[in-house]
Amino acid sequence: MDTIDTRHVSNTPGQPSAISGRHASHDPDFDRSVTILGNAFDIFLDARDAWRDASAAIRTARATPDPDWSVIHPLALHFADTTLHAIQ
């Protein structure tokens, strides 16, 4: 008997299967999309980690000012802050 339920669980080759997901796993465009999304997420995580490292470095630099850098040091911190906010 051909009902909606039997059609949805069909494992006929070349046909989408809502339960097994066989069609999606053999679709090269789907595989590429997953790879691209995974790479984009890795880049996002790397950028987030770099932002955290830079933020920590700025906090450390503010807490321990170097007297030899009395003019350049605040400008460098301001530039770093501005850059981080632009990235964020």
Any domain includes 35? yes
pTM for the full predicted model: 0.44
Mean pLDDT of the chain: 70
Q: Domain total for the chain?
A: 1
Whether the Cβ atoms of residue 22 and residue 11 lie closer than 8 Å to each other: yes
Any domain includes 12? no
Any domain includes 47? yes
Q: Which residue has the higher pLDDT, 4 or 27?
A: 27
Q: State the amino acid at position 60 in one-letter form.
A: T
Any domain includes 11? no
Any domain includes 8? no
Per-residue DSSP letter, 10: -
Domain that holds residue 66: 27-87
Share of the chain above pLDDT 70, in %: 56
Distance CA 82, CA 25 (A): 44
